Amino acid sequence: MFGIDAEKLFVLLIIGALVLGPDKLPEYAAKFGRLVRELRRMASGAQEQLREELGPEFDDIDWKRLDPRQYDPRRIIREALLDGPAQPPQTPSTKTRGETAAPFDSEAT
């Protein structure tokens, strides 16, 4: 949560309890509880609204397939330029006189 580990969160809670004091602590704890419940309600409402707008296909979406971290830009460009899945380059078995083949680097951009 916000890059804070458990020990730091515990220290912040202790400092908050000391600053607020025993008389205001229950009031602020109740406010925090209402805030968390309201955020959960809003999140579930947004999810329900999204389901209604997208229809029944929403449940069938493979979200892991749509994860942008899995994309390799080089592969996408290569497939777009070749109009299909990338295949390894094929070298000609015979060369005519005077022809030279440039080396192919599959990792080059």
Mean pLDDT (the chain) is: 79
The share of the chain scoring above pLDDT 90, in percent, equals: 16
Chain-centroid distance of CA 71 in Å reads 12
Reported as a single tens digit per residue, the pLDDT across 45-91 is 998 888 888 887 777 778 788 888 888 888 888 888 887 555 555 55
**Model pTM above 0.85:** no
Q: Where are the domains of the chain?
A: 24-82
The token duo for 56 is: 């029944």
Is residue 91 within 8 A of residue 101, CB to CB? The reply is yes
Please tell me the predicted confidence (pLDDT) of residue 30.
92
Cβ proximity of 79 and 69 under 8 Å: no
